[in-house]
Amino acid sequence: GQNIDQPTEMTATEGAIVQINCTYQTSGFNGLFWYQQHAGEAPTFLSYNVLDGLEEKGRFSSFLSRSKGYSYLLLKELQMKDSASYLCAVKNRGSQGNLIFGKGTKLSVKP
Amino acid sequence: DAGITQSPRHKVTETGTPVTLRCHQTENHRYMYWYRQDPGHGLRLIHYSYGVKDTDKGEVSDGYSVSRSKTEDFLLTLESATSSQTSVYFCAISESKGAGDGYTFGSGTRLTVV
């Protein structure tokens, strides 16, 4: 079966750094995605990892360890607009390459 | 210039009535998906399509049917709406099932069944 776990909620302070973890169990791993979703809006693509290591994109970075079934999303220099839900999603080689989503982590950034 | 649009954006319907949600894309992508999003459950796949007239069930397909007669349109039908189908429905598109291809989501349809 497939299982994706991430914390339900997190709180951080404006200007700080926050790390959102995601662990997964799946067969035929074929990539991990992070999406950002503001309340009442659609998810939007943030990052993609298929090989082990860190991918950096501005204030956002994402890390993957395939052997540990683990990823994290790192947000630096937090801004109020970063308050949103962050969704971890895994793609498998089977099932027509469908994305399986975790339940999301709601991040609240406080002044 | 949105490449994917959903209609309607909001709908209130009565229990037992049929409801059809529409997803329209202008990207000519092969893959289209319908998800529902509920508190505590995240995004769950209802049905997906991998080409015209080619569809398959997802994790939570009971009570739903889909059709794709043209590349650009993917319809989701609730045969007889129930209160448990009150949810936010998202359509998504993908160019391929390749490793690096993620999804682009529509703006969602908020459906309330009373």
Alpha-carbon torsion angle B106, B107, B113, B114, nearest 10 = -170
pLDDT in tens, B31-81: 999 999 999 898 999 999 999 999 999 999 999 999 999 999 999 999 999
Six-digit token string for B78:
């609730």
pLDDT in tens, B87-106: 999 999 998 777 677 899 99
Do the Cβ atoms of B108 and A42 come within 8 Å?
yes
Six-digit token string for B68:
């794709």
| Nearest residue to A42 (alpha-carbon basis) of B9, B71, B22 | B9
Which chain A residue has the Cα nearest residue B40?
A: A103
Q: Is B39 on the interface with A (CB under 8 A)?
A: no
Kindly report the nearest CA distance between residue A36 and chain B, in angstroms. 11
| Nearest residue to A64 (alpha-carbon basis) of A50, A76, A77, A75 | A50
Six-digit token string for B30:
């092969």
pLDDT of residue B2: 63
Residues in A closer than 8 angstroms to B38, CB to CB, are none
pLDDT in tens, A14-55: 999 999 999 999 888 889 999 999 999 999 999 999 999 999
Six-digit token string for A66:
């395939």
User: Is residue B34 within 8 Å of residue B46, measured between CB atoms?
Assistant: yes
User: Is residue A81 within 8 Å of residue A95, measured between CB atoms?
Assistant: no
Alpha-carbon torsion angle B65, B45, B73, A85, nearest 10 = 140
Kindly report the nearest CA distance between residue A111 and chain B, in angstroms. 26
Suggest the residue from A85, A103, A105 to mutate for an interface test with chain B (most B CBs closer than 10 A).
A103
